[in-house]
Structure 1
Amino acid sequence: MKLIINHSSQQPIYEQIAEQIKAKVINGTAREGEMLPSVRSLSKELKISALTVKKAYDALEHEGFVNTVHGKGSFIAGTSPQLLMEEHRKEVESDLEMAILKGRRCGMTDQEIRQMFDLIMEE
């Protein structure tokens, strides 16, 4: 599995790993039942601590994207359409929050931001 770690990013490495695997599940490049690289092999490949990879896998399991079978490994879980839709909503919400913050930093009022949003939605 091809993952890219940005060591100069403010985002923790385990989050970068988890986000990239989630993206692969959402866009369909990682399929249900597909085995993830072992914690040890991925940590060697990325030249990071095995604990960091384990933390990413644990986070993915907690969110329902991965199932771990003791002694066998971690596998892409069957994801429901509702789970995928919720992830898409989170991404859109995050993008909208960033746009609002940027507008406010530029001195725009909330009303101006709403008007701009409404104008864009009409197109």
Structure 2
Amino acid sequence: MNIIISNSSDKPIYEQIATQIKKIIISGELSPGEALPSMRFLAKELRISVITTKRAYSDLERDGFIETVTGKGSFVANQNLSFIREEQLRLAEEFLQKAVDTAKSSDISCEELKDMLEILYGGEEA
């Protein structure tokens, strides 16, 4: 599993780890039931605190991406990936609705909002 940490990111390290593991799971790179690296191993590999990896794994477990078995480790949850994707879409929709509401109340046009979204998304088509 290839996880890249950016010290210049405005996101906390645990969030960067969780986001990347989510992407790996959703892409199918990791299958349901497959073991994740131990928290200690991942912390050592990334040269970060075990507390940071514990927070990332806790968030992943809370969101239903992984299951942790005491004494055995953490594994990709057997949950339906389409359900997880749908949940992520719902979350994105909530944030976008807040952005639309803010734009409307600030007299920002739909076109300006689309331009911002494309820039934030990295220039890719939304």
TM-score (norm 1): 0.76
- Runs of 4 or more above 4 Å deviation: 97-101
- Structure 1: 5+ residue stretches without partners: 118-123
Aligned pairs for 1:40-51 within 5 A: 40-51=40-51
Q: How far does residue 100 in structure 1 lie from its aligned partner after superposition? A: 4.7
Counterpart in the other structure of 1:86: 87
Q: How far does residue 92 in structure 1 lie from its aligned partner after superposition? A: 5.1
Is structure 2 residue 110 aligned with structure 1 residue 109?
Answer: no
Q: How far does residue 88 in structure 1 lie from its aligned partner after superposition? A: 2.7
RMSD (Å), alpha carbons: 2.8
Is structure 2 residue 33 aligned with structure 1 residue 33?
Answer: yes
Partner amino acid, structure 1, of 2:91: K
Give the greater-gyration-radius structure (CA): 1
SS of residue paired to 2:3: coil
SS of residue paired to 1:2: coil
SS of residue paired to 1:71: coil
Give the share of equivalent positions with the same residue, in percent.
45
Counterpart in the other structure of 2:15: 15
CA distance in 1, matches of 2:4, 2:89: 21
TM-score (norm 2): 0.74
Partner amino acid, structure 2, of 1:69: V
User: Does 78-87 or 1-10 show the bigger shift?
Assistant: 78-87
Count residues with an aligned counterpart.
111
